[in-house]
Amino acid sequence: MSLAQRIPTAAWDSHKEQIRMLYVVQDKTLDDTIKSMNEDHGFLATKSQYVRKLKNWGMEKYINGEKWKIAFNLMQKRKRSGKETELSIDGKVIPLKKMKKEMGRYSYSQCGLGGLPATPTDSSSGIIAYTPPSDDVFRITFNTIPWLRFQNSVGSVLFRSGNEYLLPRVEDSHPSGITNPVPELEKALLAYVNRSDNFSALPSILEEKAKAKENNCQIQQLLQSQPVLRILQHAVYMSSNSFLSSGMLCNLTDWIFDNGYCWAIESFVRLEGPSVAIFASNLLLSAIDCQKVVLVRALLVGGANPNNQNTSPSHHGTPGTALYRAVQTLNPDLVDVLLRHGADPNDSGSSHHTVLDLFGDKQGSEMSALGGTSDHLRIFDMLIKAGAKVSEFGSPFTAKCLTASLKSGKVWLVGLAAKAGASTEFIGNLANLGLQSAIQGNDSDEVRASVDHGADINSPSFYLRHPHKSRSFEFAKPIGLAASMNNFSMVQLLLELGANANGIVSSDDLRVCAKGLPEDSKMRDSGRIPALHHAIRNGNTAMAELLLQWGANKHTTDGSGNTPLQAACASKQLEMAGILLRQETQVNAAASLSQDIPALQAAIASGSVKMVKLLLRHGGITNSVSSATAALRAAVKKGVVEFVALLLDADADVLHHDSSIVHFAVEHSAPLDMVRHLLNAGAHVEDVVSCCEPPNRRTPLHMAVQRNNLALVKLLLEYGADISHVKGITPCGERYEEEVQADWVQLVLTLVEHGVDINSYSSTLKTCSFLQAAISVGDFAMIRFLLDRGANPNSCLNPDELHPLHGIMEIRNEIFVLETLNTLIALGADISTSCFLDQCEVDTMADMTSPYTGLDGLRLPVTPLQAAVYYGHRRAVGVLLQAGANIDALAAGGFSFTALQVAIIGQRIGQHDGLVDFLLEAGANINAPAASEIGFTALQAAILTNKDDLANRLLLAGAEINAPGALRQGITALQAAVLQGNGALIQQLLSRGADINASPCGHRGATALQYAAMNGNFDLVVQLLENGADINAACSTTEGRTALEGAAEHGRLDIVHLLLENDHEVELLEERCREAAEFASEEGHIVIAELLREWKKP
């Protein structure tokens, strides 16, 4: 008996769908199926072969119990998400009656479901759960969704005739040694897209629609066997809908390149449609940034646009076209492949500068010698040959490259540059650049040759010295450049060749040089530094003496107004200062900054005692009052007591001319010994001038108190400082070391002993009352001490300051909080006052309500009760309520919350356990309205902070579903649920009558649909549209977006198509598309902008 002929797997797979339709869907017997396949399709196999293959496929005529169990698990999972379910098993739609019957047979209690898989396994192949159509919902169509069209076209690139795969099989495409067919990237990608806090996973509706297509079985099989296809399927959706981060895109690029999939990508990007176009664009830019030349070439061969610009938020902050980005990598191969595939050498994106100019901004400075690097010159050659334009007066980079070209014999490049727009003046100036290049390269022969060939030895040239200071150009004359490089022999040579010894770039020189720069360039002062100053700063005495011998001006100033002597003093060049002084340099010459004794001050600032003594011996201090005062203040600011002593010895009357020197010393934190030295020498302990000014002027004593400097306070009081000028104190803080706190307590006692007004303080001077300070320290004994001496329990001038009752709540010690609270209330503290909550706490609340942004940067007033609630002091809440605090009161202003709302929105794990229930039991109004400007109801707050259990409890307790939000930045309960992507809660709210089209608040608000569209939640957009959401609902009056505008602005390609396709108000559709296109363009979503401008209703 002969054996049956073996049939290849590919042949079976090509007929699988036909077999399934006959055997499962049409319910034919196996014999009839075999006969039909032979007669109608020319496929012949034995019955035993069919039996084995059907078992291998899991294709059963009758649905077994295991599949029903898995189907039941899928239904339960969808039910928890608020979704109705219709089942298709092995391609057969299961009637509702049969589904209920089988579910009754195979359903298990919740405790019995633990053994079922969380997701379908291989045995669940063919089980599809999807949302059934309903007569109660609006009919939504999906005919133009780009990702579905992409999925439909996948088949055309996956198969050739003969059923050969165009995409590589895993076992064939991986390099040897790789045993894992699913790389770590896939795991990371799939884990990322399935995170609950983002909407970038493939929407379940799109998956259902894709699975319902005729070629689904083949594609699903490939998805199981081809990790590369599975990754690309997710990556295309994420990229085309602006969910693919720059880091993930970089990882994807590396993975494609490292695993040899570049040629597969070449085929893949040939698929038409905007999804692949956006994906290819983003992948091209990423491949350029990662310098994957092979992948870049594959993408370009596959049809990616070589003139791509940013189309994704993943590339924000990296401007320019693909070519510009390639140029920035300094990779000639990347530049070459782009130019060969049609990249425009003059398209630099949104910039009005040329590619060459932009390239020069970043890279020109790296060419320290004009010979440059080979990569620089290769790229320059390529761009010039390709027709890149040169600005009329060129750029430093262009000039350097052309000079290097001349040196290497490429004269024709200069001709091309002239044709490309460089002026005759610019081309003629290249000789001067050659001289500069020779100086930078320390090439004496080239310097002589450049001068012999017409280079102007006294003409300035520009150069970009700092590569990280974009568009910041420096100018120098040849001798100035040589001096800045500390090159003595080059300076000597230039002097012998006729260079002017000063080497200063004049204002006229700068105006001429500026013609060669872009309009927004900044010209630095390096060229305004004389060669002599460079020598002095470098400590090159020989060069300085040489320049002086050749006529350098010993009195000239640099761009900052410093004389050579000042420069020597500032750089501690004692020998150089001596040389200048011996040449009768004016020791008291005024600089351009109008300082009378700049040299002496520069010496003091340098800290050189020897330099100060040298200048004083040469008359460095004059009889001028301002001269002596300026020198003394410079010494005090430096903090060197010896300087002060030297100046007092030189002019004993200086203290009489400066009545506020002690104030100056304390203000600049001079050492205690210096303040004592000044006081012993007769300086005034009070700031005589400031004592005649308004009381908020800080006296030395007040500043010492403000800094908690006990030793300085005692010193000033010892010398008779007036205690009445002290306005409040600075708190030391609860977390300071015990030694610091002890000093602070001693400071308070010292001030009280000298009769300070403990209730006086100044918000202008950023001090608080002594009672407020004691509370912040958490020192109850000090609080009692101050209260017994008349401290005011309501010492607070306005909400900007911390009322004592509010200050208590920031302390973590519960016993301290209760003791102090009871004491202050007994003494008449106002329990209804309002103060602003600490800003870092408001920022924490803002983080908890993310992605809602209404609390960002908000200054939030709270009452003592609300503060106690926020900080979790439950017993303090009880004390305040017992004392008569209004449980539902709002703090002053339109930005506030009730105590219950604070408890919900500020709730952190373990901190507010039972506090919400406590407030409700105490009578808190569950439906207290939101504040007028910014605020939430209790239900809105619970939903915004993702407290689903609490939201359900509030709903059961009668919370108002359609309560309006605050006028300015409010949000309804449904809008909050959409913002948080909570599908189950959305369905619950809709079933309870939530207004799906509630208007947005006035400032940056949105309807439920607008939020879903902006966030890119495709499933929620469909859910809302099915329930009657208005596609064209008006947006917020301030910074609002319609649903279409929001989706376009955020790059949500598929949602843009969904909204357009289901927009039945065609009259103004073209105008709406045009406006949405503007938002897309501004954010770099070029493909979306183009499709909006060209949209025609199907």
DSSP letter assigned to residue 584: T
Determine the average pLDDT of the residues in 253-259: 84
pLDDT band for position 503 (cuts 50, 70, 90):
confident
Provide the 8-state DSSP code for 1038: B
Using DSSP bridges, classify how beta strands 472-476 and 522-523 pair: parallel, antiparallel or unpaired.
parallel
Summary mean pLDDT of the chain: 78
Residue 21 to residues 128, 215, 396, Cα–Cα distance (Å): 16, 12, 72
CA atoms of 380 and 57, how far apart (whole Å) = 60
For residues 834-847, give the mean pLDDT: 76
If we measure between CA atoms, which residue out of 651, 639, 643, 554 comes closest to residue 603?
643
**Mean of the pLDDT values across residues 74-84?**
71
Among 42-46, 195-199, 242-246, 596-600, whose mean pLDDT is lowest?
Answer: 195-199
Instruction: Tokens for 127, please give them.
Output: 């089980």
Residue 272: per-residue pLDDT: 85
- 507-560 tens-digit pLDDT: 666 565 555 554 544 545 555 789 998 999 889 999 999 999 998 888 888 877
What is the enclosing helix (H) or strand (E) of 462? strand 461-463
- What is the pLDDT, as a whole number, of residue 174? 39
From residue 725, give the alpha-carbon distance in Å to each of 136, 274, 465, 755: 77, 73, 54, 11
Confidence at 240, pLDDT banded by 50, 70, 90? very high
Partners of 835 in the β-ladder: 862
* Chain centroid offset of residue 12 CA: 53
C-alpha to C-alpha distance for 208 and 213, rounded to whole angstroms: 9
Alpha helices for 514-653 (secondary structure H): 531-537, 541-549, 564-570, 574-582, 598-606, 609-617, 625-638, 641-650
Instruction: Give the whole-angstrom CA distance, residue 409 versus residue 829.
Output: 89
Q: What is the mean pLDDT of residues 673-682?
A: 90
Q: Is the pLDDT of residue 186 over 60?
A: no
Say how many Å lie between the first and final Cα of the chain, rounded: 62
Tens digit of each residue's pLDDT (9 = 90 or more) over 893-949? 666 789 998 888 876 544 555 788 899 999 999 999 888 777 889 999 999 888 888
Alpha-carbon span 360 to 338, nearest angstrom: 19
Burial of 65 (0-12, 13-18, 19+ CB in 10 A): exposed
Each residue's pLDDT tens digit, 702-728: 889 888 899 999 999 999 999 988 888
Q: How far apart are CA 110 and CA 76, in angstroms?
A: 10
| Side-chain-facing half-sphere of 1050: CA atoms under 13 Å | 24
Instruction: Give the pLDDT confidence of 323-348 residue by residue, as tens digits.
Output: 888 888 888 999 999 999 999 888 76
Cβ neighbours for 456, distance < 8 A, ≥ 6 positions apart: 431, 432
How remote is the C-alpha of 539 from its chain's centroid? 44
pLDDT-based confidence at residue 827 (cuts at 50, 70, 90): very high
Q: How many angstroms separate the CA atoms of 73 and 910, rounded?
A: 34
How far apart are alpha carbons 317 and 775 in whole angstroms? 47
The structure tokens 């200071």 sit at: 469
What sign results for the dihedral spanned by CA atoms 315, 320, 323, 327?
Answer: negative
Structure-block tokens of residue 504: 């200063």
Contacts of 1064 (CB under 8 A, 6+ apart): none
Instruction: Tell me the per-residue pLDDT of 445-498, one tens digit each, with 9 for 90 and over.
Output: 888 887 887 778 888 765 444 433 444 456 678 898 899 889 999 999 999 999
Compute the distance between CA of residue 935 and CA of residue 894 in angstroms, rounded to an integer.
8
State yes or no: cis peptide before 1098, omega within 30 of 0: no
Alpha-helical segments (H) within 396-443 = 396-407, 411-419, 424-428, 430-440
Residue 765: predicted pLDDT: 62
Token digits of residue 239 = 């990229």
CA distance 699 to 550: 55
Rounded CA-CA distance 358/520 in Å is 12
Other beta carbons within 10 Å of 668: 13
One-letter identity of residue 558: D
**300 CB contacts (<8 Å, ≥6 apart)?**
284, 306, 337, 338, 341
Q: Which residue has the higher pLDDT, 231 or 773?
A: 773
- 130, β-bridge pairs: 86
What DSSP letter does each residue of 791-836 carry, written as one string?
--TT--SSTTS--HHHHHHT---HHHHHHHHHHHHHTT--TT--EE
Helices (runs of H) and strands (runs of E) counted in the chain: 60, 8
Residue 488 has what pLDDT?
95
Scan for tokens 């009005």, then name that residue. 352
pLDDT for 105 beyond 60: yes
Is 50 exceeded by the pLDDT of residue 297?
yes
Residue 970 class from Cβ within 10 Å (0-12 exposed, 13-18 middle, 19+ buried)?
buried
**pLDDT for position 855:** 72
In this predicted structure, what is the pLDDT of residue 615?
84
pLDDT in tens, 1020-1040: 999 999 999 999 999 988 888
pLDDT digits (tens, 9 = 90+) for 556-597: 888 777 889 888 888 888 888 888 888 877 776 654 443 445
Summarize pLDDT for 857-884 with one digit per residue, the tens. Answer: 677 788 999 999 988 899 999 999 999 9
Residues near 258 by Cβ (< 8 Å), separated by ≥ 6?
none
Write the pLDDT tens digit of every residue in 984-1023. 899 889 988 999 999 998 888 899 999 999 999 999 999 9
Q: What share of the chain is helix, strand, coil (3-state, %, to 5)?
A: 55, 5, 45
Is 59 in contact with 92 (CB distance < 8 Å)? no
State which of 248-252, 398-402, 754-758 shows the largest mean pLDDT.
754-758
The C-alpha atoms of residue 5 and residue 1006 are separated, in whole angstroms, by 66
Residue 457: helix, strand or coil by DSSP?
Answer: coil
Region for residue 964 given its phi and psi (left: phi exceeds 0; alpha: psi -120 to 50; beta: otherwise): beta
- Token pair of 961 as six digits: 């579903």
Beta strands 461-463 and 472-476: pairing type? antiparallel
Per-residue pLDDT band for 368 (boundaries 50, 70, 90) equals very low
pLDDT digit string (tens) for 395-437? Answer: 555 666 666 665 555 555 666 666 666 665 566 666 677 787 7
**What letter would DSSP give residue 1013?**
H
Cβ–Cβ < 8 Å for 290, 252: no
Rg (CA), the chain: 40
Long-range CB contacts (< 8 A, 24+ apart) of 695-704? 695/725, 695/727, 696/727, 696/762, 696/764, 696/765, 698/667, 698/765, 699/663, 699/725, 700/662, 700/663, 700/665, 700/666, 701/725, 701/726, 702/726, 702/727, 702/765, 703/663, 703/666, 703/667, 704/666
**Range among 48-57, 167-176, 606-615, 666-675 with highest mean pLDDT value:** 666-675
Please name the residue that has the structure tokens 């016993």: 815
State the Cα–Cα distance between residues 842 and 990, nearest whole angstrom. Answer: 31
Q: Are 420 and 386 in contact (CB under 8 A)?
A: no
DSSP letter assigned to residue 895:
B
Sign of CA dihedral 678, 682, 683, 684: positive
- Please give the distance of CA 923 from its chain centroid, rounded to a whole number: 44
Is 0.75 surpassed by the pTM of this model? no
Q: How far is residue 415's CA from residue 421's CA, in Å, rounded to a whole number?
A: 10
More confident residue, 474 or 1063: 1063
Show Cβ contacts of residue 108 under 8 Å, excluding neighbours closer than 6 positions.
69, 72, 116
Of the chain, the percentage scoring pLDDT greater than 90 comes to 25
CA distance 617 to 615: 5
* CA distance linking residue 838 with residue 818, whole number of Å: 21
Chain CA centroid to CA 802, Å = 33
Residue 268 confidence class, pLDDT cut points 50, 70, 90: confident
Provide the β-strand partners of residue 462: 475
